Chains A and B, each alone.
Chain A
Amino acid sequence: MTTSASASIQTSYQELQKVQKEIGKLFNNKQILTAQLRENELVKTEVDLLDESSTIYKLVGPVMVTQDYAEVKNTVASRIDYLKTELEKVDRKLESLESKAEEHRKVLMELQNKT
């Protein structure tokens, strides 16, 4: 009885840890995405201040390539859209994982109270 109880505590603890690890990984992802989004938003504010006559280069590997103003505007806007949807996805995933972790925690508490 006691051995089976401690075994189930162990397994549910391991599961909780697994979920927490995943949360940590996703959280890192979220931070990276947020940073990229911020950078792109900064670029957008700068691009918005420019006009058709300005020369814009893009660094591709070791070369600078001239870019069309409209094209740059489009690329930056689409990148921002993409990053926003990715962030939403990560947020939703984080939420579900948090509730999962909470459930595991409850189960673990109950098991510990029994013994």
Chain B
Amino acid sequence: MQRQIPISELSKEQLQILYDRMEQELEHLRSSLRTLHTAVSRLQRSLQCLDSLSHKEKGSLVMVPLTSSLYVPGSLADTKTVLVDIGTGYYVKSSIDKAEDYLKRRLKTVKTEVEKLQQLVSTKQEQYEYVSVALREKLIQTTG
């Protein structure tokens, strides 16, 4: 039961409200996009770590970070299995290969989400610009 009203028929106040709302929406979408991008880079870093771990031998020396500035020497007790965080506090013991599969799977889903969101942002951006032009015209009309 939604009525369609052409933007040119909206009053100045209505346009302003619409404009503000779209601005908020866009900002929200952009911040979601940023979050997804950080997720992508985190997953990629995990993949790199897995790769470098798979080349290491058992007993290799490593420096273990206790804090961001304090490290202690240690040796790798196991280079074949890792713990994977699958969310909501659950961790799974898995082989390097399986963990790699998991990360690649995650990366794929996040990347498709990024693409979807990017498309949404660009269409919203177009609509937003359209409304902003209409609003400016209205303001010129009423003041001039």
* Pairing of A with B: yes
Q: Is A55 part of the contact surface with B, judged by Cβ < 8 Å?
A: yes
Instruction: Tally A residues with Cβ within 8 Å of B.
Output: 19
Q: Which residue of A lies closest to B93 (CB)?
A: A55
Q: Which residue of A lies closest to B28 (CB)?
A: A31
Q: Which residue of B lies closest to A72 (CB)?
A: B90
Is A58 in contact with B90, judged by CB distance below 8 angstroms?
yes
Q: Is B73 part of the contact surface with A, judged by Cβ < 8 Å?
A: no
Is B86 in contact with A57, judged by CB distance below 8 angstroms?
no
Is B93 in contact with A43, judged by CB distance below 8 angstroms?
no
Q: Which residue of B lies closest to A64 (CB)?
A: B91
Chain B residues, CB < 8 A from A64? 91
Report the contact-size class of chain B (Cβ under 8 Å from the partner): 10 to 19
Chain B stretch 77-133: residues in CB contact (< 8 A) with chain A: 83, 86-94, 102
A9-17, A46-54, A89-97: which one contacts chain B?
A46-54
CA distance A47 to B88 in the complex (A): 12
Chain B residues, CB < 8 A from A42? 86-87
Report the minimal beta-carbon distance from A32 to chain B, rounded to whole angstroms: 14
Report the minimal beta-carbon distance from A70 to chain B, rounded to whole angstroms: 14
Contact with A along B28-63 (1 / 0, CB 8 A): 000000000000000000000000000000000000
Cross-chain contact of B93 among A47, A54, A72 (Cβ < 8 A):
A54
Chain A stretch 20-79: residues in CB contact (< 8 A) with chain B: 39-40, 42-43, 46-47, 50, 54-60, 64, 67, 72, 76, 79
Cross-chain contact of A57 among B83, B87, B102 (Cβ < 8 A):
B83
Report the minimal beta-carbon distance from A69 to chain B, rounded to whole angstroms: 10
Is A43 in contact with B94, judged by CB distance below 8 angstroms?
no
Q: A46-B102, A57-B83 are in contact. Are A39 and B92 (CB under 8 A)?
A: no
CA distance A60 to B83 in the complex (A): 15
Can you list 22 A-B pairs, Cβ within 8 angstroms, ordered by A? Answer: A40-B87, A40-B88, A42-B87, A43-B86, A43-B87, A43-B90, A46-B92, A46-B102, A47-B90, A50-B92, A54-B92, A54-B93, A54-B94, A56-B93, A57-B91, A57-B93, A58-B90, A58-B91, A59-B90, A59-B91, A76-B88, A79-B88
